[in-house]
Amino acid sequence: MPVIAWQCCTFDELSSERYTPERGRYHLVLGRDSLTESILDGKVQAAINHDPRGRYLAQQDDTLRLRRDAQGLWAYATLPEFGNPGLLNRIRKRQAAGSVGIEISRERWERDGQGRLLRIVTQADLGEVSLLLGRSPAFAATSGSAYIVDENLHAPAIRRN
């Protein structure tokens, strides 16, 4: 099974526009440290297209590794191709994006210098990281970010930082 890497989200950048009836249009911003506790607790799972039936990879069994850098959160996973025909070809053609499934526990709302409403997440529970196929990601920088690390090796030992 190949090892796939993808950027799941970006930190301190605006998401695509969102909407809530209570607040109207807004942009989500994930703070750099907003997911730290979840990354360290080792309970994050991986999925394809946020499908709960496909959450078969997890930090606990070493099929999923997470890495945080200045730009965002990256996932490295040993992904089976079953149930996803053409998965590797879509990744090779840069047709896959990344996403996160979070439950927000601390946030603040404010307007930026251009008057846009921002929902700034300061703490969230990261339940899963998802590889998106044929869907638009919340954070544009993750679009086309997936690549094949190695088609013959399992996920490398990556230090959580």
Pick from 9, 12, 10, 15: which is nearest to 27 by CA? 15
DSSP states along 59-109: TTTTSEEEEE-SSEEEEEEE---TTSTTHHHHHHTT-EEEEEEEEEEEEEE
Q: Is the pLDDT of residue 76 over 50?
A: yes
For residue range 119-134, what is the model confidence (pLDDT) as tens digits? Answer: 999 999 999 999 888 8
Q: Is the pLDDT of residue 158 over 50?
A: no
Tokens of 92: 């090779």
For residue range 8-65, what is the model confidence (pLDDT) as tens digits? Answer: 999 999 999 999 999 999 999 999 999 988 888 888 888 888 887 766 666 666 778 8
The reported pLDDT for the residue numbered 61 is 67
Section 135-144 average pLDDT:
86
Residues in the chain: 161
